[in-house]
C-alpha cells in the first residue's frame, strides 16, 4: 500500500485517499453544524411554523449547505470559487427575515429570497466592476451592525422565544444559563481546535438538562421516518415589494461578507491574494444557491467565517478532504431524525448558546475596524453609519416621512441602514482628510522624539570632538615631555 504523504493535505488539489479525508471533512461539519441550523429555528419561530415543518426545513438546510460547499470547491460554469470555502445558512438574514415573516408571512420571505438571490448572483458575475466600493471599513461596520442586530434575537430566545406563554420563566432562564455557562466553560478549558465545538457542547448539555427538567417535546419522534426526501417548494413564494427590497439589501451585505471570507481563505490558506475569477464565482454561488435554497423552503446561505478560522488554524486546504464533509451534509439531508432532534430543542437552550456567538460577531467587527485602520476618514464612516443605523432604528418613528414601503424596509433594519450610510459615506468623503487629534498628538510626539534624538546625536558628536581635542592635548603634552 502506498504510504500517505501528509503534505498533500496542504495542497488545494493534493492526492488524499478517501479514508484520510473523512476526519478533516467531519471537522468542518462540526465547526459549522449548529450555526447552519440555528437561523432556521429562530425565523421559523417568528413565522409561527410548526415543529414538523421546521424539522423538514432542517433537512433542507443540510442538503443546501452540502450542495453550496461542493459548488464552491468544484465550480460549475462561473459559479464557485474553487477555494476551500464551506457554505451554510446565514445569520445575516435572521433579523430582516423575522420581520418579513412576522409582517407578510413566510411565503413572502421565500419570494424575497428567490429574487434577492438572483440579483446577488448576477452582481457576482460582474463583481469586478463594483466590488471596490465595498472597502474594508464598509465591510467592518456592516459586520459590527449584524452582531448588534442579533443581540435582541439571542436575548428573546434566551427567555423562551417570541410570544412564548412562559417567556422569562425560571425554567427558561435556568436552561439558557446552563447552556451559556457550558459554552463558556468548554471555550475556556478546551485546547486547540476542539474550542470550535463549544456551541455544540453547550447544546448537548442544555438538551440533557431540558430532558431532566421535562422541557423537551418528544411527540415528534413517534412519526419520524428513517429516510425522507427534502420537500421541493413546500411554500408557494409570494412577491411583496417591501420584503424584496429589504432582503435584497441584506444580500448586498452578505456579498460583502463573502468578499471578506473569500479574500481571507486565499490569504491564510494559500498565502496569496484572491483572484478576480475566484471572488466573482464565490459571490455568484452565494446568490444563486440561496435562490435554490428558497425553493426548498430554506433561508439564504453564505460562506462561514468559522471555517475560514479552521483553515487558518490547521492549514488544511485540500478540496477533496473538505468535500467529504459536504457529502456527509448532503447525506444527512435525507435523515429526518436529525431535524426532529433539533426541532425539539427548547429555544432557551438555543438562546444560551447563540447569544455568545452573536457577541463574537460584534468583536469580529471591531477587529475588522482596527485592521482597516483608525484614520480620520475611517472613523467618520464608522461613527456616522453605526450611529445613524443603530440609533435611528431604535426610534423607528423617525422614518415617518418616508413612503410606507421604505419605512417597512428601514424602520427596523439597522443592518440595511448601516450598509447604505457606509457605502454613501465611502463614496462621498474625500480620500484624504486632515488628521485627527490622536494622530496629531502622535505626530507631535514623534517630532519631539526626533528632536530629542537629534540633540542626543549633537551632544554625542560634541563629546566626540572634545574627546579628540583632549587626546590631542595629551599627545602634545606627551611629546613635550619626551622632548624634555
**For the segment 12-64, what is each residue's pLDDT rounded down to a tens digit?**
999 999 988 998 888 888 778 878 998 999 999 889 999 889 989 999 999 99
In angstroms, the CA 413 to CA 391 distance is 11
Q: Is 432 exposed, middle or buried (0-12, 13-18, 19+ CB in 10 A)?
A: exposed
Which residue would you say has higher pLDDT here, 107 or 133? 107
pLDDT band, residue 164 (cuts 50/70/90): confident
> Quick one: pLDDT at residue 438?
47
pLDDT in tens, 242-264: 999 999 999 998 998 898 889 88
- What average pLDDT score do residues 74-97 get? 95
Q: Mean pLDDT lowest for which of 131-140, 399-408, 426-435, 452-461? A: 452-461
Task: Please report the pLDDT score of residue 320 as a whole number.
Answer: 93
The predicted model gives 171-187 an average pLDDT of 95
The pLDDT-based confidence of 404 (bands split at 50, 70, 90) is confident
> CA nearest 303: which of 367, 368, 342, 256?
256
Once rounded to an integer, what is the mean pLDDT over residues 139-165?
Answer: 89
pLDDT at 322 over 50: yes
- What mean pLDDT comes out for the span 80-89? 96
What is the average per-residue pLDDT within 299-313?
85
pLDDT confidence of residue 163: 82
Give the pLDDT score at 195: 76
pLDDT value of residue 431: 85
CA 40 from centroid of its chain's CA atoms: 16
Rounded to 5 degrees, φ, ψ at 252 are -65, -35
Residue 434 burial by Cβ neighbours in a 10 Å radius (0-12, 13-18, 19+): exposed
Q: What is the pLDDT of residue 475?
A: 40
Q: Is 381 left (phi over 0), alpha (psi -120 to 50) or beta?
A: alpha
DSSP string, 112-139: HHHHHHHHHHHHHHTGGGTGGGS-HHHH
Report the distance separating Cα 188 and Cα 102, nearest Å. Answer: 38
pLDDT at 472: 40
Burial of 125 (0-12, 13-18, 19+ CB in 10 A): middle
Per-residue pLDDT, averaged over 273-302, amounts to: 96
pLDDT at 450: 56
Q: Kindly tell me if the per-residue pLDDT of 361 is higher than 90.
A: no
Give the containing element (helix H, strand E) for 87.
strand 87-89
Does 474 score more than 60 pLDDT? no
Longest dimension (CA), the chain: 121
* pLDDT reported for residue 7: 87
Question: What pLDDT does 412 receive?
Answer: 86
Q: Comparing 174 with 463, which gets the higher pLDDT?
A: 174
Highest mean pLDDT among 58-67, 358-367, 411-420: 58-67
Residues 190-212 have a mean pLDDT of 86
Average pLDDT over residues 163-176: 94
pLDDT mean across residues, the chain: 86
Rounded Cα distance, 372 and 385, in Å = 15
**Most confident of the following: 196-200, 325-329, 435-439, 454-458:** 325-329
pLDDT for 433 equals 78
Note if the pTM is more than 0.85: no
Q: How many CA atoms does the CB half-sphere of 370 hold within 13 Å?
A: 6
Q: Where are the domains of the chain?
A: 6-375, 442-484
DSSP string, 236-297: -----HHHHHHHHHHHHHHHHHHHHHHHHHHHHHHSSPPPHHHHHHHHHHHHHHHHHHHHTT
Percent of the chain at pLDDT exceeding 90: 55
Residue 334's Cβ-count burial label (10 Å; 0-12, 13-18, 19+) is middle
Predicted pLDDT at 455:
59
When pLDDT is averaged across residues 435-452 and rounded to a whole number, the result is 50
Quickly count: other Cβ atoms within 10 Å of residue 388's Cβ. 18
Amino acid at each position: 500500500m502506498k504510504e500517505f504523504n501528509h503534505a498533500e493535505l496542504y495542497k488545494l488539489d493534493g492526492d488524499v485517499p478517501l479514508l484520510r479525508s473523512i476526519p478533516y471533512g467531519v471537522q468542518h461539519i462540526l465547526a459549522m453544524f449548529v450555526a447552519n441550523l440555528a437561523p432556521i429555528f429562530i425565523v421559523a419561530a417568528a413565522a409561527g411554523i410548526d415543529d414538523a415543518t421546521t424539522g423538514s426545513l432542517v433537512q433542507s438546510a443540510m442538503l443546501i449547505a452540502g450542495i453550496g460547499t461542493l459548488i464552491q470547491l468544484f465550480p460549475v460554469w462561473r459559479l464557485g470559487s474553487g477555494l476551500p470555502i464551506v457554505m451554510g445558512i446565514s445569520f445575516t438574514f435572521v433579523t430582516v427575515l423575522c420581520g418579513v415573516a412576522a409582517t407578510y408571512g413566510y411565503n413572502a420571505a421565500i419570494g424575497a429570497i428567490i429574487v434577492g438571490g438572483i440579483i446577488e448572483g448576477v452582481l457576482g458575475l460582474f463583481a469586478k466592476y463594483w466590488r471596490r466600493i465595498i472597502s474594508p471599513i464598509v465591510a467592518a461596520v456592516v459586520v459590527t451592525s449584524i452582531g448588534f442586530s442579533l443581540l435582541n434575537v439571542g436575548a428573546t430566545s434566551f427567555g423562551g422565544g417570541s410570544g412564548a406563554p412562559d417567556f422569562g420563566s425560571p425554567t427558561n432562564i435556568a436552561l439558557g444559563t446552563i447552556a451559556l455557562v457550558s459554552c463558556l466553560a468548554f471555550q475556556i478549558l478546551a485546547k486547540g481546535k476542539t474550542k470550535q465545538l463549544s456551541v455544540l457542547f453547550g447544546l448537548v448539555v442544555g438538551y440533557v438538562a431540558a430532558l431532566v427538567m421535562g422541557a423537551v417535546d418528544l411527540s415528534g419522534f413517534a412519526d419520524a421516518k428513517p429516510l425522507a426526501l427534502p420537500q421541493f417548494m413546500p411554500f408557494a413564494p409570494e412577491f411583496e415589494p417591501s420584503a424584496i427590497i429589504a432582503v435584497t439589501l441584506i444580500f448586498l451585505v452578505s456579498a460583502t461578507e463573502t468578499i471578506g471570507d473569500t479574500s481571507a481563505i486565499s490569504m491564510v490558506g494559500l498565502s496569496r491574494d484572491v483572484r478576480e475569477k475566484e471572488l466573482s464565482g464565490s459571490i455568484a454561488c452565494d446568490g444563486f444557491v440561496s435562490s435554490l435554497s428558497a425553493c426548498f423552503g430554506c433561508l439564504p446561505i453564505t460562506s462561514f467565517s468559522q471555517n475560514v478560522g479552521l483553515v487558518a488554524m490547521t492549514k488544511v486546504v485540500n478540496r477533496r478532504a473538505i468535500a467529504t464533509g459536504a457529502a456527509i451534509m448532503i447525506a444527512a439531508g435525507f435523515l429526518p431524525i436529525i431535524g426532529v432532534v433539533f426541532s425539539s430543542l427548547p429555544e432557551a437552550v438555543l438562546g444560551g448558546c447563540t447569544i455568545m456567538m452573536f457577541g463574537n460577531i460584534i468583536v469580529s467587527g471591531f477587529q475588522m475596524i482596527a485592521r482597516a485602520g483608525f484614520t480620520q476618514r475611517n472613523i467618520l464612516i464608522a461613527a456616522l453609519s453605526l450611529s445613524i443605523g443603530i440609533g435611528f432604528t431604535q426610534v423607528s418613528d423617525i422614518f415617518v416621512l418616508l413612503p410606507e414601503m421604505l419605512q417597512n424596509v428601514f424602520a427596523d433594519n439597522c443592518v440595511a441602514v448601516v450598509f447604505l450610510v457606509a457605502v454613501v459615506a465611502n463614496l462621498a468623503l474625500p480620500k484624504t482628510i486632515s488628521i485627527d487629534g490622536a494622530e496629531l498628538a502622535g505626530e507631535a510626539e514623534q517630532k519631539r522624539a526626533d528632536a530629542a534624538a537629534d540633540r542626543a546625536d549633537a551632544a554625542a558628536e560634541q563629546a566626540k570632538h572634545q574627546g579628540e581635542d583632549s587626546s590631542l592635548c595629551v599627545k602634545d603634552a606627551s611629546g613635550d615631555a619626551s622632548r624634555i
